[in-house]
Amino acid sequence: MNTLARKASLTLDTSSSLTSLVLDFAENSAKAFDMTDGDASRIRLAGEEVFGYLCNTAKAGSEVMIEALNNLYSIEIRFTFKTGSFDPYAFNLTAFVSPDEGQTENLGLLIASRAVDRFSIRYNHPHEVVLSLVKDKSYPQWPEDEGRAGVSLKDFVTKRPDDETVKRFVRQGARHYTERIFPAPFRVPPRMVDMVIQGDCHMLVACGTGIQGGEVGGGIIWRLVGKGMIEFYGPYIFDRTLGSNIAITLIDGFLSAIAKTDRSGAYASYTTDDLPAEYFESLGEIGYSLEDGCKQNRGFVYRQLKEDAGSHVWASRKLEPFLHNVYDRLFLPRQIVSTSFEGESRAPHSVLSVEFDRPHSSVTIRPVWDGEDYAENLAGHVQILRQEGLKNIFLDLDLGVPWQAKLIPALFDSGFKPVLLLPYAGQADVVVFQHVR
Partner 1 sequence: MVSVPLSDLIPDYIKRFEAYVPSKPDAELMKLYGCSRLFRLNNNENPLGPPPGAQEIIRRFPPMKASLYPSGDVYFVRNKLASRFSLDPDQFLFGNGANEVIAFVIKAFCQEGDNIITADRTFSVYEWVAEFSGFEARLVPIKDFAFDDEAMLKAIDGRTKIIFVCNPNNPTGTYWNTDKMVRFLDTVGGRQIVVIDEAYCEFVSKSDYPDGMKLMAEYPNVVVFRTFSKMYGLAGLRIGYLVGNPEVVDVIRRTCVVYSVNGVAQDAVMAAIDDDDHVARTRELVRTEKTYLASKLRALGLEVQAAEGCYVMVRLPMSDTLAYRKLMARGVMVRSMTGFRFPNWIRVSIGRHDAMKAFIEALSAILKNTARAPSGRVPS
Contact residues: partner 1, CB under 8 A: 244, 247, 251-252, 255-256, 259-262, 271-282, 284, 299, 301, 303-310, 330-335
Smallest gap from Cβ 21 to partner 1, in A, equals 26
Task: Return the number of the residue (235 or 426) whose C-beta is nearest partner 1.
Answer: 235
CA atoms within 13 A on the CB side of 75: 31
Pairing of strands 265-268, 281-289: unpaired
Task: Return the number of the residue (148 or 303) whose C-beta is nearest partner 1.
Answer: 303
Task: Return the number of the residue (310 or 389) whose C-beta is nearest partner 1.
Answer: 310
DSSP for 308-358, written as a single string: ---EEEEE-GGGHHHHHHHHHHHT--EEEEE----S----S--EEEEEEEG
Smallest gap from Cβ 109 to partner 1, in A, equals 27
Alpha carbon separation from 281 to 159, 225, 309 (Å, rounded): 26, 19, 18
Smallest gap from Cβ 255 to partner 1, in A, equals 4
Smallest gap from Cβ 115 to partner 1, in A, equals 30
Smallest gap from Cβ 383 to partner 1, in A, equals 34
Contact 93, 39 (CB under 8 A): no
Phi, psi for 379 (deg, rounded to 5): -60, -40
CA atoms within 13 A on the CB side of 181: 17
Cα end-to-end span (Å), the chain:
59
Task: Return the number of the residue (301 or 430) whose C-beta is nearest partner 1.
Answer: 301
CA atoms within 13 A on the CB side of 112: 32
Task: Return the number of the residue (240 or 358) whose C-beta is nearest partner 1.
Answer: 240
Smallest gap from Cβ 332 to partner 1, in A, equals 7
Question: Which letter does DSSP use for residue 271 in this model?
Answer: B
Task: Return the number of the residue (128 or 145) whose C-beta is nearest partner 1.
Answer: 128
Smallest gap from Cβ 14 to partner 1, in A, equals 20
Task: Return the number of the residue (336 or 384) whose C-beta is nearest partner 1.
Answer: 336
Question: Which letter does DSSP use for residue 5 in this model?
Answer: P
Q: In what order do the strands lie in the sheet with 392-398?
A: 351-357, 362-369, 392-398, 430-435, 416-422
